[in-house]
Amino acid sequence: MRRILVALKRVIDYNVRVRVRPDGSGVVTDGVKMSINPFDEIALEEALRIRERGGADEVVAVSIGPDDAQQQLRNALAMGADRAILVKSDQPMEPPAVARVLLAFVERETPMLVILGKQAIDDDCNQTGQMLAALWQRPQATFASKLELAEQSARVTREVDAGLETIEVDLPAVVTTDLRLNEPRYIKLPDIMKAKKKPLDVIELASLGVDAASRLKVIGLESPPQRKKGVMVKDAAELVAALRQKGLV
């Protein structure tokens, strides 16, 4: 079966203003709206489009997180994913551990393609896809803004500093998605109802035998200093004077 595995991360919704806890131990999540990481949502949309074009037979969504992450997986099923799997973990996981968990499912599901967002908007690590490709010993194509599949290969247009770069990789492979790849579809109420009947498996992290120990220790978090209000100037001369007063020119 031609299968696509899509990795999804549960993050604070991008419209929510993130607040640091008073003790600096983390960010406030109680009562905060959570969503699928936007880059991962783009990855899921691309997988669904490939299946709809006849390029794949099944799309499987995988996420790692607490029980509440089932809501984001249900949204993925409502978008059109065929199956969903939640690896239950109440502790945040670092990219190497996430990559090892995904590798366990790659070996179990034998997908022709693994798609995930280029980074998560909470930690901005941009590491998981690359680490998975290294562990899997398969090609990778990161920052995809266009993806075309052939029988045994994928042609990927990447966004790089100098512009666009097009590469071809053999399948199976790992692809990470950029913002301009597509625009995710809107979930309709009938699709939400249908998603309730689709399979969603919950697996304990310990059952995978994956080393998920943290290698990093967070000393503390603090909010960035508030920006000072701007100053209105009447003309260029007044602007230069204000900059000179601040020692900027």
Note the pLDDT of residue 31.
86
Residue 62 structural domain? 3-245
- The structural domain count of the chain equals 1
Average pLDDT of 209-219? 85
Q: What is the CATH number of the domain that holds 170?
A: 3.40.50.620
pLDDT band at 1 (very low <50, low <70, confident <90, very high): confident
Nearest CA to 7 out of 43, 58, 33, 34 is that of 43
Residues 28-86 pLDDT 10s: 888 899 999 999 999 999 999 999 999 999 999 999 999 999 999 999 999 999 999 99
User: Within the chain, where are the H helices?
Assistant: 38-52, 70-79, 95-109, 128-136, 189-195, 236-245
Average pLDDT of 8-26? 88
Average pLDDT of 206-224? 85
Residues 145-204 pLDDT 10s: 999 999 899 999 998 888 899 999 999 999 999 999 999 999 999 999 999 999 999 999
